Amino acid sequence: MIIVCGIPAIVGSGLLWELSEKWSTVYGYLFLLAATLLVFLLAPQLKQGHQAASEAVESSPRFYVWLSVLAAFIFLAGYALIASLVLSMEILEFSLQIPWATLVSSYTWLVVAGSGLCIINALGGVFGMHRYEMMSKRIVFLSLTTIMFGLMFILFHLGRPERMPIQNAISPNFRSAIAWMGMLYNIYLVIVVVELWLLIRADLAERAEQAEGWKRDILRLLALKDLNDSRLGGILQKMRLDRLLYHPRLHRILDDPRLPRITATMAFITGVAALTMLGSVFAHAEARALWYGPYYPIYFLVSALFTGYGVLLAATIITYRVKGEEMSSESKALMFEMAQVLALLLAVGFALTSYRLVTGLFDPLRQGPTLFILKGPLSPAFWIFEVGLMSVLPSFILLRAAKKKSLGGVLAGSLMVLVGAFVMRYLFLVGGQIYPNTFPRFSADLPTILPSYMPTITEVFLIVGIFSGFLLAYTLGERFLPLKEEGPEHA
Amino acid sequence: MDRYELITDRNTDLTANSWVVVNLRADSDNRTKRHYQHWACQHCERPACAGVCPVTAIRKLPHGPVVINENKCIGCRYCYQACPFKIPRFDFAKRVTRKCHLCYNRTPLLNYMKPACVAACPVGALAFDYRSEIIKEAIKRVTNLTRPSYILGLTEAGGTDMITILPAEPKNMGLVVAPKKVVNHTLDKIRISASGFMAASVIAGGMYFYSKPTKNRDAGLGDK
């Protein structure tokens, strides 16, 4: 009960603080009303779940509390969005000197992790490692949700998001990295949806056999099984969709055993290409001394791998913990193997960072930016988060956990990597724009006035809301889709 | 020495609605002299912003101006990141990026009508003509002066269509310093992206060598 009352209280007090500033009282109260209504709507469910006292997490009160917390944060994001539309976009990213800020850094964090998951999935899907293949449903689903919600950050960052799909289709600029990145991620999303559908199709058909009524029909339709005897089948026949959906040639392609591997290969190629173009978005900008050069496309690939492993390990272990299930011995062995690979990748990433910094010290063009990272105002973010929390500490923790077979250690290490990587992206993005374009450039001895940036409260609302949306999507996917690892007994 | 010491009492920054500013600035080597200095989009001959705009909203028109199509702009602000002079400003009300367009709509025929700032200048400090003519005029004005001068725009960012006579080098004036070469050359972009694709192939190779020797270990997991 404390949690149920506490969340609206925290949210409400935050809102009051926000409203006391000066503006948009109406929208604030509307939000408050919506959040309260939501909690009331969920209350019977909560009670019911409590009375059932079932062992399963899905019907326990904490599941509904978790959902309502996420929904409240999503409402907050909606409030921030509406306020930005009604008032001005200044309440989201107000800085003129630093136009790409926390929204874009969160975007890179999430989307690069999703692309890393796509590369990891290729280990099973393309290179044929069975132990990765048994995790492929979770990997593909995570990759889809991370990239979808990551692109949502960009959507809200853009001034005119409604123009993007149209203009990107009718007049793309093939010299622009953003245009390529957008196109490739869109193609990638389509391929990943097909890949996920292929993976869960058999399970949907199996569920259709157990279900009854309209549920059965919809599940059968989703699995593209025969619908002749049902009402939905009649509707499809009337609309003449059945000829397309049940065309024998289409089904010959769908039943081809090589198809999963082909889609995984296509997803791997487009995902890696999109990720390289995402790195190039920053690396092409010659006017930004910190970003420019062929280094960042490479580093984005490596950091995609370690953040992808981090997301995968953390999501899997937390899911098992929350559900209170015991992991199969194969899955456990894979967790520890992945922890070791993650430690290796962190070492590779750290070696790349050191290479960049050491060569930067001797390069007259890059000396300034390098010193800015090492000694500038954002240097604590570099030394504590990027070096300490992202590279050095988790490597030792992960290796030790893998040796001692402790899943808790692996979880701690991967969470550290994720937190460190978030700050690393922020440092990369905001630091790159703070570094001055005027002389005298930054030097450690001289006091220099740099452009300042601090996220606004609405910006924080939006970011937390989108992350909550991602968590909600994963929670619901875990609830309704068969993402569990398949041991040999299921194969 | 602090950059902000160079900025005197009259300093306005460009905004989404004021595309041209004239500031009173001092030379860092000679503080006693102060000069008015005109600052706006430099209209590069090979504009970096047009090369990075994802929807080709920015174009270099044949008679010189670099123009943002505000009905096309999606507001991603990549042009600001790419611009070597840091000119484009995001308009938070219109949600698009805006900057000086050299009055492209006033000057479809050269010298028929001059850009508004040129037409308004009462002392003829600004001039509008073919680039070669303007460079000749700038050199003539500089040779007539007794003090040292710097002509901005001859080589900056591969040459610009805005030529400014400065009393000192731009870095001593507290201005944004552009490299003296074409910025964001397409070949350079291909070189940078190619490094990423090479790294991707290296990673694919690494994955192959990771999967190959350990495949036997999976034999127990069964072949589906």
Q: Determine, for residues B3 and A438 on separate chains, whether the beta-carbon distance falls below 8 Å.
A: yes
Q: Indicate if the pLDDT at residue A156 is higher than 50.
A: yes
Specify burial of residue A380 (Cβ count, 10 A radius: 0-12, 13-18, 19+). Answer: exposed
- Name the residue type at position A4: V
Separation between Cα atoms, residue A280 and residue A293, nearest integer Å:
9
ipTM for the predicted complex: 0.88
- Tell me the chain A residues in contact with residue B81 when contact means C-beta distances shorter than 8 Å: 99-100, 285, 287-288, 433
SS3 A315: helix
pLDDT of residue A9: 58
Q: Indicate if the pLDDT at residue A31 is higher than 70.
A: no
Pick the residue with more confidence: B29 or A23?
B29
pLDDT digit string (tens) for A263-279?
Answer: 999 999 999 999 999 99
Other Cβ atoms less than 10 A from the Cβ of A483: the count is 23
Other Cβ atoms less than 10 A from the Cβ of B51: the count is 23
Q: Determine, for residues A129 and B214 on separate chains, whether the beta-carbon distance falls below 8 Å.
A: yes
Separation between Cα atoms, residue A100 and residue A94, nearest integer Å:
10
Closest-CA residue of chain A to B14: A96
Q: Determine, for residues B83 and A167 on separate chains, whether the beta-carbon distance falls below 8 Å.
A: no
Other Cβ atoms less than 10 A from the Cβ of A4: the count is 17
SS3 B90: strand
Q: Determine, for residues B73 and A159 on separate chains, whether the beta-carbon distance falls below 8 Å.
A: yes
Structure tokens at A109: 């964090």
Phi, psi (rounded to 5 degrees) for B107: -120, 50
Other Cβ atoms less than 10 A from the Cβ of A440: the count is 15
How close does chain B come to A58, measured CA to CA in Å? 30
- Tell me the chain B residues in contact with residue A179 when contact means C-beta distances shorter than 8 Å: 54-55
Q: Indicate if the pLDDT at residue A51 is higher than 60.
A: no
How close does chain A come to B87, measured CA to CA in Å? 10
pLDDT digit string (tens) for A90-102?
Answer: 888 777 788 898 9
Residues 6+ apart with CB under 8 A from A28: A15, A18, A19, A79
Interface probe, candidates B4, B55, B210, chain A, greatest A C-beta count within 10 A: B55
pLDDT of residue B224: 41
pLDDT of residue A414: 94
Q: Is B193 on the interface with A (CB under 8 A)?
A: yes
* Mean pLDDT for chain A overall: 84
pLDDT of residue A254: 85
- State which H helix or E strand residue B49 sits in: helix B48-52
pLDDT of residue A490: 44
Q: Indicate if the pLDDT at residue B109 is higher than 70.
A: no
How close does chain B come to A424, measured CA to CA in Å? 20
Q: Are A243 and A249 in contact (CB under 8 A)?
A: no
Q: Which of B119, B125, B129, B132 is nearest to B164 (CA)?
A: B125
* Mean pLDDT for chain B overall: 85
Interface probe, candidates B15, B56, B91, chain A, greatest A C-beta count within 10 A: B56
pLDDT of residue A17: 58
pLDDT band at B45 (very low <50, low <70, confident <90, very high): very high
Q: Indicate if the pLDDT at residue A28 is higher than 90.
A: no
Averaged pLDDT, A188-207: 90
pLDDT digit string (tens) for A135-151?
Answer: 899 999 999 999 999 99
pLDDT digit string (tens) for A425-474?
Answer: 999 999 888 887 776 665 555 455 677 788 888 888 999 999 999 999 99
- Tell me the chain A residues in contact with residue B186 when contact means C-beta distances shorter than 8 Å: 175
- Chain A neighbours among B 66-105 (CB < 8 Å)? 72-78, 80-84, 86, 89-90, 92-97
SS3 A61: helix
Q: Indicate if the pLDDT at residue A128 is higher than 70.
A: yes
- Tell me the chain B residues in contact with residue A123 when contact means C-beta distances shorter than 8 Å: 207, 210-211
Q: Indicate if the pLDDT at residue A10 is higher than 90.
A: no
The residue length of chain A stands at: 491
pLDDT band at B12 (very low <50, low <70, confident <90, very high): confident
How far, CA to CA in Å, does A188 sit from each of A138, A158, A291, B107?
17, 21, 25, 45
pLDDT digit string (tens) for A276-327?
Answer: 999 999 999 988 888 998 999 999 999 999 999 999 999 999 999 988 888 8
Pick the residue with more confidence: A490 or A357?
A357
Segment among A18-22, A432-436, B55-59, B75-79 with least mean pLDDT:
A18-22
Q: Determine, for residues B82 and A286 on separate chains, whether the beta-carbon distance falls below 8 Å.
A: yes
- Tell me the chain A residues in contact with residue B218 when contact means C-beta distances shorter than 8 Å: 129-131
A/B interface, count of CB pairs below 8 Å: 220
pLDDT of residue A68: 87
Separation between Cα atoms, residue A420 and residue A307, nearest integer Å:
10
- Tell me the chain A residues in contact with residue B223 when contact means C-beta distances shorter than 8 Å: 130, 491
Separation between Cα atoms, residue A386 and residue B188, nearest integer Å:
29
- Tell me the chain B residues in contact with residue A272 when contact means C-beta distances shorter than 8 Å: 200, 203-204
DSSP code of residue B180: S
Segment among A20-24, A61-65, A439-443, A482-486 with least mean pLDDT:
A20-24
Residues β-bridged to residue B151: B165
How far, CA to CA in Å, does B88 sit from each of A158, A482, B22, B42, B82?
15, 49, 17, 11, 10
Closest-CA residue of chain A to B209: A127
- Tell me the chain B residues in contact with residue A300 when contact means C-beta distances shorter than 8 Å: 196
pLDDT digit string (tens) for A210-259?
Answer: 877 777 888 888 887 777 677 777 777 777 777 777 788 888 888 888 89
What does the domain layout of chain A look like in residue ranges?
1-87+460-482, 285-437
pLDDT of residue A12: 63
Rg (C-alpha) for chain B, rounded Å, is 24
Report, in this order, helix, strand and coil percent for chain B, each rounded to 5: 30, 15, 55
Separation between Cα atoms, residue A362 and residue A349, nearest integer Å:
21
pLDDT band at A19 (very low <50, low <70, confident <90, very high): low
Q: Determine, for residues A179 and B196 on separate chains, whether the beta-carbon distance falls below 8 Å.
A: no
pLDDT band at B213 (very low <50, low <70, confident <90, very high): confident
Structure tokens at A160: 């005119």
Q: Which of A92, A93, A103, A81 is nearest to A27 (CA)?
A: A81
Q: Determine, for residues B218 and A129 on separate chains, whether the beta-carbon distance falls below 8 Å.
A: yes
Q: Determine, for residues A159 and B48 on separate chains, whether the beta-carbon distance falls below 8 Å.
A: no
Other Cβ atoms less than 10 A from the Cβ of B201: the count is 10
pLDDT of residue A47: 54
H helix runs in A239-378, sequence order: 242-245, 248-254, 259-283, 295-323, 329-362, 367-375
SS3 B160: strand
What share of chain A has pLDDT > 90, as a percent?
43
Q: Is B209 on the interface with A (CB under 8 A)?
A: no
- Tell me the chain B residues in contact with residue A178 when contact means C-beta distances shorter than 8 Å: 52, 54, 76, 78
Q: Determine, for residues B217 and A131 on separate chains, whether the beta-carbon distance falls below 8 Å.
A: yes
pLDDT of residue A5: 56
- Name the residue type at position A299: Y
Segment among A17-26, A441-450, B79-88, B152-161 with least mean pLDDT:
A17-26
- Chain A neighbours among B 123-152 (CB < 8 Å)? none
